[in-house]
Amino acid sequence: MELLLTDEEKRLKAMVREFADRELAPRAAELDEREEFPWENVTGLRRLGLMGLSVDKAYGGAGGNAQQVTISVEEVARGCAATSAMYLTHLSLGAESIIRYGNEAQRTRYLPDLASGEKLGAFGLTEPSSGSDAANMRTTAVYRDGKYVLTGAKTFISNAPEAGVMVVFAATDPGQGARGVSAFLVDKDTPGLQVTPQHGKLGMRASSTGAVVFQECRVPESGLLGNEGQGFSIAMAVLDSSRISVAAQAVGIGQAALEAALRYSQQRESFGKPIAEHQAIQFMLADMATRLDAARLLARRAAQLKDAGLPYSREAAMAKLYASEAGHFACDRALQVHGGHGYFRDSPVERYYRDVRVTEIYEGTSEIQRLVIARSLLREAAAESQAQGENP
């Protein structure tokens, strides 16, 4: 894999890996146990200039590309999965929405603080009554007296309790379904905005999740992101992009599990020799490494397509689908290698196993990814069939 990286990418990977080993990994277990938001880790990411990695230099960012974000997210996730959840939500969802769809005034207002890490970004799409069915929007936005009045609720919103700005999706024309959804930039101190932290997650326990309620929340007209009715297409496009980051996150967690399994298998003995010398263990390690490398390459392909300005929706879905399942497989096998020791909380693989599970759920479940991939394949096949019919 190293052969595929440019010198600049190798330096980035080495820098983030060293930071993850020195600062993220040593804190991960305690933060998980206490469900404590990783502010120290945010400070470290800010210090390295990573909070604005994909933000244009004109707004205080590093001007990095999708491949660099993928590398960074993987290494952060390898050190602390919960920190990577905060990071990709901030960068690949919150900031990305403004980078791609904000006007100049919105970019100037929000991106410098997001790039510096002074403010965190969040992405308010999921509602209590709709997850995968994102077009079934119950939160409404009514234009009244020069402002949009938001009423409704969101749930499972990453970074919500800490976010300085949230991208919020609401129905401006409920009768139009997906075509009636619009996107808004809502500041943390907006009257009528209430955020309640949600605790008790299986994994990613140090990343914050919140329930959001809008009670006559008045957002100025300048807070409309894009045009009215464009919100659903904005959400889908940003999720396409962010799925590449989730793929990288799953690979990073799986890589941490693989490295833990390699270490343990060389130390643990059974039947008079290290278990690494048993063929059954070797097969598990080989399968873990192979699946993770394949997932890593799928994520890189999707990132390359994005950087080249080419369509990448199907490839991003493939990367997210395969990487999340490969990461889950790696964590499951790592726990098996550890045996009973892996089943207790003093082993890091217990945490990896819990953390990786959500990568098959958020930002589009594995079932949704399969639908995205299949529909793309069928459209392509139909177009090819039509073209052959017109040109016998």
Query: What Å distances lie between residue 224 and 38, 75, 169, 220, 390, CA to CA?
Result: 31, 35, 10, 8, 44
Q: Residue 256: left if φ>0, alpha if ψ -120 to 50, beta else—which one?
A: alpha
User: Helices (DSSP H) in the chain: which residue ranges?
Assistant: 7-19, 25-34, 39-47, 66-79, 81-88, 96-101, 104-116, 231-267, 279-307, 313-338, 348-356, 366-390
How far is Cα 370 from Cα 294, in angstroms, rounded to an integer? 18
How far is Cα 322 from Cα 309, in angstroms, rounded to an integer? 23
Neighbouring-strand partners of residue 212? 154, 195
363 is catalytic: yes
Which positions ≥6 away from 52 have C-beta within 8 Å? 59, 60, 61, 62, 91, 95, 111, 114, 115, 116, 117
Q: Is the dihedral of CA 203, 42, 128, 313 positive or negative?
A: negative
Taking every pair of Cα atoms in the chain, the longest distance, rounded to a whole number of angstroms, is: 79
Contact status, residue 247 vs residue 295, Cβ threshold 8 Å: yes
Helix (H) or strand (E) holding 149: strand 147-158
In the chain the first and final C-alpha atoms are separated, in Å, by 43
User: Residue 193 class from Cβ within 10 Å (0-12 exposed, 13-18 middle, 19+ buried)?
Assistant: buried
Question: DSSP secondary structure string, 328-366?
Answer: HHHHHHHHHHHGGGGGSTTSHHHHHHHHHGGGGTTTS-H
Give the Cα-Cα-Cα angle 284, 286, 292 (nearest 5 degrees). 100
Residue of 36, 363, 380, 390 marked catalytic = 363
Q: Could you list the active site residues?
A: 363
